[in-house]
Amino acid sequence: MRKIFLILSLFVFVAITPAQNVLLHKEVNDSIIQKYGPNLRNFHHLFISMGFVMGEPDSSGSDILYGNSTNYLVGYRYKLKLSNWFAIGYDIDISSYYFRLKQSLTKCTPDSILHDKEKFIIGNVGGDLYLRFNYGRRGNRVGNFIDLGGYGDLKTAAKHFTKDKMLNGNVVEVNTSHLKYVNKYNYGAMARVGFNRYVIYGCYRLSDIFKDSQYPELPRITVGLQIGLHK
Amino acid sequence: MKRSILFFLLLLFTFSAMAQTGKYWVFLKNKKNVTFDPYSYFDKKTIERRIAYNIPLLDSTDFPLNEEYVNTIVVQVDSVSQCSRWFNAMAVYANEQQIEKIKSFSFVKEVEPMMMMCNVAEKNTADWDTIIKPEQMELMEKQLTLMGGDKFEKAGIDGKGIRIAIFDGGFPTVNTSPVFEHIRKDGRILKTWDFTKNKEFVYSYISHGTSVMSCIAGMVNGKKIGLATGAEFILARTEVQSEPFSEEENWLAAVEWADKNGADIINSSLGYTYHRYFQNQMDGKTSLVSRAGNLAAKKGMLVVNAAGNDGDNDWKVVGTPADADSVLSVGGIDAWTKYHISYSSFGPTTDKRMKPNVCAVAHVIVAGKNGLNASDGTSFASPLIAGFAACAWQKARSLSNMQLFNQIEKSANLYPYFDYAHGYGVPQASYFTDTTITFKERTFTFDVESNEVNVNIKNFSYENNDDNLLYYNIQKDDGVLLEYNVLNVSQEKVFSVKISDYKKGYKLNVHYNGYTDSYSF
């Protein structure tokens, strides 16, 4: 009982004793040496991009609809500045490709059946390694640059989708997943031209999407615009 | 396939080519064979100012550029956007080949690529509202009474006869708004120039300049928003938010224009930070605008600049030209808490000079495009001080610009205490209007017990004390602060420090309720 009384008294005492409230406390650094920043040794940021699939397929059997065949990407980028004009870095990203197939008599991927709409959707997680060549004065900004590098993707999803409007007005949509004829990995070369946060990128896929050349390969080039989420 | 590759290469080529033409400063070696007549070039008021403060009328920095040199450069470049007499330089658009050729001229001293983006030091702007709510009225009064603005008003001081130049991104409705009617009525907007478009009209674009001007001299229904309602104005549009490369040259051109047109005070609520510079370049010497700010001060003008709004982000420190030695840098406080507002940028400069110099309310009521609204930013603390400075100068007209600078610092409520968030604190009109010297009573004591210094408040009474802020810092023997603090005092014994923690020669400086004292370790 006495103990409880003591604790209660202490509690009341603490509660009524006003404490000094520190509103502002600043320590002054002797020197400002920054290592993190857009034009400093380390920098990282998120980015988003959208691109269009371009180029010719291996044969007209895998013709696509240009403009409707797209690539979306969200990623994280790290840059290590090694000199005023040179840096290296890597990206980690999640991407998806939409290949809208052209419906023509020569079509044979993945079959010769013609549909109202048909597309391959391929989801990836991946990354790239790049060499960065900066040019022009830029202060503490990312500035103007050219990146050259290579990328690798691990397939997370591959779907074949068709849509047909039947004579009776019904719409039939068929979504086929776990496609066994799609390769698990992809890799290629890439280049980027950047103007601070705005980047034009181009990728060339060196690997095949389809296993064992079962079907004529889809176009290998993607060109698009990327926006770095930084100042 | 081939077509796609070609298209991609074409894109690459186009963007690379775009990047090749750039903007450069071409600095010339001399002003040989150039003649200059100050009486035809300068405004009458500039000549009066220079004579009054013993500033030479024939200063080589005011001489025009050598016409022959200019003409030689003009034919070599794509275009010339500005010429700076002060720096004997031309801002030009040119490609690399043209620049190589220019470098080879014997009269060219140096060529520097230009790249700039400025931060208009406005934090954000709330929605406009034509109704003055009671709390808005309260804040509007507070932004002036914290400087003792009523003392100027009672003494009939309103900045009359002082010419203020404002550099900003646009002044929409300044030519129509009732907030500036008293100025327009007397024809006190003497000149305007848009340096971004080389034309006179400035009453459009971003409303930041309108808000800034209202904090210097605005008036609504007879209520003052700023103190210098009787001042004269020249307005320069120097900033275009979407144009990332021009502002520094415009600022430079405008400061020369302000000098030519007789400005006494320049208010520049702008700051240049991370887009071009690193924090360690905030030394008051590196950037061209800070050097121009110092030069403007040498020519007799008081340059007032916002410290910046980077206190709560990665940048943290004051921008440039607020880092310049002779520029009166203004930090921000909150009107209600009366101490540093979180976003106001901190000092010191890289070379450890105190910045900001003084501070004022940064969360204020301003006039926007269509009415009054609440806004945040050291952008608005700066014009409040510019208005204050105009009144102080009207009262003490014999002071030179740098004497006024020092007197404004001395008038501040914390002086001689300072820190890198508040400078010397908020300037007080009473310093200029009251002739009687009031003795400041000791409000605290240093009590030493073995290894500790205790700071104790004298006659502490929590209830009767409206202002319980205690400021203290630790100052090294070279004068630079090691740390600084603001406490809300709620008991007699405020804090203690261990003597053995600090080197001999270091000082503990404390300010409480108008009284400052130091304890030397």
Are A20 and B490 within 8 A, CB to CB? yes
Percent of chain A with pLDDT over 70: 89
Are A139 and B274 within 8 A, CB to CB? yes
Query: Nearest CA to CA, how far is B45 from chain A (Å)?
Result: 39
Whether A30 is covered by a domain: the verdict is no
Provide φ and ψ at A6, rounded to 5°: -65, -45
What ipTM was assigned to the predicted interfaces of this complex?
0.79
- Residue B409's pLDDT is 97
Longest Cα–Cα distance of chain A, Å, equals: 96
Query: Nearest CA to CA, how far is B337 from chain A (Å)?
Result: 10
The mean pLDDT value for B363-387 works out to 92
Contact list, A18 vs chain B (CB under 8 Å): 462, 490-491
Query: Nearest CA to CA, how far is B389 from chain A (Å)?
Result: 28
Residues 6+ apart with CB under 8 A from B133: none
Q: What is the CA radius of gyration of chain A?
A: 28
- Residue A2's pLDDT is 60
Q: What is the CA radius of gyration of chain B?
A: 25
Of A23, A136, A221, which has the smallest distance from its Cβ to B4's Cβ? A221
Query: Nearest CA to CA, how far is B247 from chain A (Å)?
Result: 15
Whether A29 is covered by a domain: the verdict is no
Are A34 and B488 within 8 A, CB to CB? no
The mean pLDDT value for B87-94 works out to 88
- Whether the pLDDT of residue B128 is over 50: the answer is no
Of A26, A38, A220, which has the smallest distance from its Cβ to B346's Cβ? A26
β-bridge mates for residue B23, sequence order: B93
Contact list, B492 vs chain A (CB under 8 Å): none
- In this prediction, residue A32 has a pLDDT band, given cuts at 50, 70 and 90, of low
Are B278 and A139 within 8 A, CB to CB? yes
Are B275 and A140 within 8 A, CB to CB? yes
Provide the token pair at A124: 């990836």
Average pLDDT along chain A: 89
What are the pLDDT digits (tens) for A55-75? 998 888 899 999 999 999 999
> CA dist B461 to B63, B156, B198, B446, B458, Å?
63, 37, 61, 18, 9
Provide the token pair at B122: 């406005």
The 3-state secondary structure of B450-462 reads: CCEEEEEECCCCC
Contact list, A219 vs chain B (CB under 8 Å): 1, 4
What are the pLDDT digits (tens) for A120-164? 999 999 999 999 999 877 777 898 999 999 999 999 999 999 999
* Beta strands per DSSP E along A166-220: 171-176, 185-195, 198-205
Percent of chain B with pLDDT over 90: 59
Are A140 and B278 within 8 A, CB to CB? yes
Contact list, A25 vs chain B (CB under 8 Å): 483-485
More confident of the two residues B238 and B249: B238
Of A26, A54, A135, which has the smallest distance from its Cβ to B4's Cβ? A54
Provide the token pair at B238: 């120097």
Whether A132 is covered by a domain: the verdict is yes
* Beta strands per DSSP E along B226-273: 232-237, 265-268, 270-271
Of B22, B279, B480, which has the smallest distance from its Cβ to A34's Cβ? B279
Strand A171-176 with B163-168, pairing: unpaired
What are the pLDDT digits (tens) for B184-212? 999 999 999 999 889 999 998 888 999 99
Are B491 and A22 within 8 A, CB to CB? no
Task: Tell me the residues of A at the B interface, defined by beta carbons under 8 Å apart.
Answer: 17-28, 31-34, 37-38, 40, 54-56, 135-141, 144, 191, 193, 195, 200, 202, 219-221, 223, 231
Query: Nearest CA to CA, how far is A73 from chain B (Å)?
Result: 19
What are the pLDDT digits (tens) for B298-349? 999 999 999 999 998 878 899 999 999 999 999 999 999 999 999 999 999 9
Whether A10 is covered by a domain: the verdict is no
Domain that holds residue A108: 44-229
Are B15 and A141 within 8 A, CB to CB? no
Are B8 and A26 within 8 A, CB to CB? no
Strand B189-194 with B232-237, pairing: parallel
Closest alpha carbon within chain A to B21: A136
Whether A106 is covered by a domain: the verdict is yes
The backbone region for B349, taken as left when phi is positive above 0, alpha when psi lies in -120 to 50, beta otherwise, is beta
Are A32 and B1 within 8 A, CB to CB? no
- Whether the pLDDT of residue B115 is over 70: the answer is no
Q: Is there a contact between A134 and A84 (Cβ–Cβ < 8 Å)?
A: yes
Are A24 and B488 within 8 A, CB to CB? no
- Residue A59's pLDDT is 83
Mutation pick from A140, A146, A201, A231 vs chain B, by most beta carbons of B within 10 Å, is A140
Question: Which residue type, as a one-letter code, is found at position B516?
Answer: T
Q: Determine the 3-state secondary structure of A152 from DSSP.
A: strand
Mutation pick from B2, B6, B8, B14 vs chain A, by most beta carbons of A within 10 Å, is B8
Q: Write b or e for each residue in B286-305: b if 16 or more Cβ atoms lie within 10 A of its Cβ, otherwise e.
A: bbbbbbbbbbbbebbbbbbb
Are A28 and B484 within 8 A, CB to CB? yes
Q: Which domains are delineated in chain B?
A: 21-113 (3.30.70), 119-409 (3.40.50.200), 444-520 (2.60.40)
* Beta strands per DSSP E along A136-170: 144-165
Quickly list H helices, A58-141: none
Query: Nearest CA to CA, how far is B20 from chain A (Å)?
Result: 9
- Whether the pLDDT of residue B517 is over 70: the answer is yes
Whether A129 is covered by a domain: the verdict is yes
Q: What angle do CA B408, B411, B412 make, to 5 degrees?
A: 95
Are A23 and B339 within 8 A, CB to CB? yes
CA distance B96 to B209: 36
Q: What angle do CA B420, B426, B431 make, to 5 degrees?
A: 130
CA distance B341 to B190: 35
Whether A1 is covered by a domain: the verdict is no
Average pLDDT along chain B: 87
Query: Nearest CA to CA, how far is A231 from chain B (Å)?
Result: 9
Quickly list H helices, B261-322: 288-298
- Whether the pLDDT of residue B15 is over 50: the answer is no
What are the pLDDT digits (tens) for B18-75? 445 677 889 999 998 888 899 989 998 898 888 888 888 888 899 999 999 998 988 8
Contact list, B420 vs chain A (CB under 8 Å): 26, 28
DSSP state of A60: G
CA distance B91 to B378: 29
The pTM of the full predicted model, rounded to 2 decimals, is 0.75
Of B314, B486, B494, which has the smallest distance from its Cβ to A23's Cβ? B486
- Residue A152's pLDDT is 97
CA distance B178 to B181: 5
Query: Nearest CA to CA, how far is B203 from chain A (Å)?
Result: 30
Are A28 and B420 within 8 A, CB to CB? yes
- In this prediction, residue A14 has a pLDDT band, given cuts at 50, 70 and 90, of very low
Q: Is there a contact between B261 and B43 (Cβ–Cβ < 8 Å)?
A: yes
The CATH number covering residue A155 comes to 2.40.160
What is the tally of structural domains in chain A? 1
What is chain B's length? Answer: 521
- Residue A13's pLDDT is 43
Q: Is there a contact between A82 and A128 (Cβ–Cβ < 8 Å)?
A: no
- Whether the pLDDT of residue A15 is over 50: the answer is no
Of B16, B278, B482, which has the smallest distance from its Cβ to A28's Cβ? B482
Q: Is there a contact between B247 and B118 (Cβ–Cβ < 8 Å)?
A: yes
Of B348, B469, B494, which has the smallest distance from its Cβ to A28's Cβ? B348
- Residue A19's pLDDT is 53
CA distance B20 to B96: 7
CA distance B357 to B374: 25
Q: Is there a contact between B218 and B182 (Cβ–Cβ < 8 Å)?
A: no
> CA dist A72 to A44, A96, B136, Å?
20, 5, 48
Strand B358-361 with B327-333, pairing: parallel
Residue B302's closest CA among B115, B49, B61?
B49
- Residue B462's pLDDT is 64
Mutation pick from A17, A26, A142, A195 vs chain B, by most beta carbons of B within 10 Å, is A26
Are A37 and B8 within 8 A, CB to CB? no
Contact list, A38 vs chain B (CB under 8 Å): 274
- Residue B151's pLDDT is 95
CA distance B447 to B444: 10
- Whether the pLDDT of residue A9 is over 60: the answer is no
> CA dist A73 to A201, A227, B5, Å?
12, 10, 21
Whether A152 is covered by a domain: the verdict is yes
- In this prediction, residue B401 has a pLDDT band, given cuts at 50, 70 and 90, of very high
Strand B163-168 with B265-268, pairing: parallel
Q: How far apart are the first and last CA of chain A?
A: 63
Closest alpha carbon within chain B to A59: B1
